[in-house]
Amino acid sequence: MKTNRFFYLIKGELIRLHKYKVTTVSLMIAIIWGVVLYFVEGDIFNSLLPFLILIDATMMSLMYIGSVMFFEKKESTISTMLVTPSKHSEIILSKIFANTIHNFFSTALIIIAFVLIKDIQINYFLIALAVIIATLFHTTIGLLLSYYQKDFTTMLTTIMSISFVLVIPSALYGFNILTADIWEYILLINPIQAAAEIINQSFKPIDLNWKYYFSIAYLVVGGILVYKYLVLSKFKKYAVSISGV
Amino acid sequence: MNNIFEVKDLKFKYHKKQENVLKGINFEIKEGEIFGFLGPSGAGKSTTQKVIIKILENYNGNILYKGKDLKSYDNQFFEDIGVSFEMPIHFSKMTAMENMSFFQQLYKKKADIQQLMTRVGLWEDKDKMVGEYSKGMKIRLNMVRALLNQPNMLFLDEPTNGLDPTNAKILKDLIREFRSEGGTVFITSHIMADIDQLCDRVAFIVEGEIKEIDSPRNLKIRYGQRVVKLEYSENSKIIEKEFPLENLGENKEFINLIKTKNIETIHSGETTLEDIFIKVTGVKLDNENQ
């Protein structure tokens, strides 16, 4: 991988996130969530803040990368990337990294605002690590999903279905509605629950137990496998199929 | 001239399709020439171009680029070529300059963007969003995009389609300049006048098979009639006569007509590239697009 070119690709992706108003949308969402959290107190706040960070790092990552992919599909710009010296891995990783950087800053904005306004006990290193790992994994999944969706509306429908299947059980578990011990193990194979585990562990008191390490390993190894064997290997076929050139 | 591309027995089949789209085609592109690739829709023009610019893989046959198997080239191959697709391919919410600067950063060799954009008449509009560009402006920007890396070879898909005659001439002049500086051009188009004016050699592809390859001049001679047609006026009537080219200088009737009559028109019987296209492919061109 050529460092300079990779750097330019990431920079280009970040500029486009800004130009295509994805950054504006994510900042507005961060502000809306900030306002909501400002009026929430006590235990609900303590549950809601990690939950919103989780949604930002998981579902919103899927949506942001989906919107980028469909903008590019509409403008056939992936075709022209295929005839540059950029490697497919550089093109894909630049999108994943740019989306992660973008998401990291929108999440950081919420956290910083609440550190200043409210007394939050948080480990900055662990929350940064958690947000980065969760976003990297879900952006990779988002890329893969976009290969198989006809348009952004279909992608949104798919994301909503995934939300229903994956987020709801995790949310119910997070709000102590699902309380049986078995859920603790079943939900760990759910990447959103794994992301919830590592995000929750960033709030004090910190207890880095086996579930934390399992979740980190699951998201990192799972993300690498999805990237290598699905996203990267199917990229060329996808790019040619949408190119129309 | 050396061959820059040699295509031997190229066969290609799309996934899930029973039949080959390319059925064992053979051709070569010589270094420094403008090579036209013509054919009706679905004949295999775009597929051939996609294969030789490495967008489509899994073909059968041999393709040599500069004497080496095309498959042995990695992505550095793209440092050497420039591609202009038929459809405009740019980020619409970025300015033309931002688009060009972004793409250029991906290459080692860098052309002068200002010079190129000035040449195609876009420098004044460099800070406009591409989304605000007209179709013609986007097509001209495609050409700039293809030349950003100072390529040795250009692949142009319908480069003048949708352009008015003035802008089409600017692009054609640019293509000729590129060739005169040693560049090689592979061009697909259905605008026969452009092909006739630009190309050193043309190939006609029909249903995945190449039916003809030669220079436009040779094709016109081969498919045309070796006659001279002239029209003259006599007693307020236009009279048309036809004479064989053979020994024309000794044809007394012809010489007599030239000397004594009021000649209105005189033409050789060579045919047009469009007529040859129709004859070879069996498909009539869309008049609106010519």
Domains of chain B, with CATH numbers? 3-213 (3.40.50.300), 221-289 (no CATH)
ipTM given for this complex: 0.85
* Integer Cα distance of A227 and A234 in angstroms: 10
List residues in chain A touching B: CB distance below 8 A: 4-5, 8-9, 12, 15-16, 19-20, 75-77, 79-80, 82-87, 236, 240, 243-245
User: What does the pLDDT read at residue B289?
Assistant: 41
Contacts of B64 (CB under 8 A, 6+ apart): B3, B5, B6, B8, B70
Least CB-CB distance to A79: which of B89, B98, B105?
Answer: B89
Q: Summarize the confidence of residues A52-58 as an average pLDDT.
A: 90
User: What does the pLDDT read at residue B253?
Assistant: 92
Phi then psi for A131, rounded to 5 degrees?
Answer: -65, -40
Tell which of A7, A84, A236 to mutate to test the B interface (max B CBs under 10 Å).
Answer: A84
Residues facing B230 on adjacent strands: B241, B266
Q: Is A52 helix (H, G, I), strand (E, B) or coil?
A: helix
A4-13, A29-38, A219-228, B209-218: which range is least confident on average?
A29-38
Task: State both tokens at B81.
Answer: 């070529």
Tell which of A83, A94, A243 to mutate to test the B interface (max B CBs under 10 Å).
Answer: A83
Q: How confident is the model at residue A57 (pLDDT cuts 50, 70, 90)?
A: very high
Phi then psi for B38, rounded to 5 degrees?
Answer: -120, 150
With residue B187 as reference, give the H or E element that holds it.
strand B184-188
**Helical axes A42-57 vs A191-200, angle rounded to 10°:** 130
**Helical axes A235-243 vs A88-117, angle rounded to 10°:** 100
Task: State both tokens at A77.
Answer: 């710009």
Phi then psi for B8, rounded to 5 degrees?
Answer: -125, 120
Nearest Cα of chain B lies from the Cα of A72 at a distance, in angstroms, of 8
Contacts of A3 (CB under 8 A, 6+ apart): none
What is the count of structural domains for chain A?
1
pLDDT tens for each residue of A201-243 = 998 777 888 889 999 999 999 999 999 999 999 999 999 888 7
Q: How confident is the model at residue A41 (pLDDT cuts 50, 70, 90)?
A: confident
Q: Is B246 helix (H, G, I), strand (E, B) or coil?
A: coil
Query: Residue A45: which domain range?
Result: 3-243
Encode chain B (290 residues) as per-residue pLDDT tens digits.
799 999 999 999 988 788 899 999 999 999 999 999 998 888 888 899 999 999 998 899 999 999 999 999 999 999 999 999 888 889 999 999 999 999 999 999 999 999 999 999 999 999 999 999 999 999 999 999 999 999 999 999 988 888 899 999 999 999 999 999 999 999 998 888 889 999 999 999 999 999 999 999 999 888 888 889 999 998 888 999 999 988 999 999 999 999 999 999 998 887 888 888 888 887 765 544 43
User: What does the pLDDT read at residue A118?
Assistant: 77
Closest-CA residue of chain A to B46 = A245
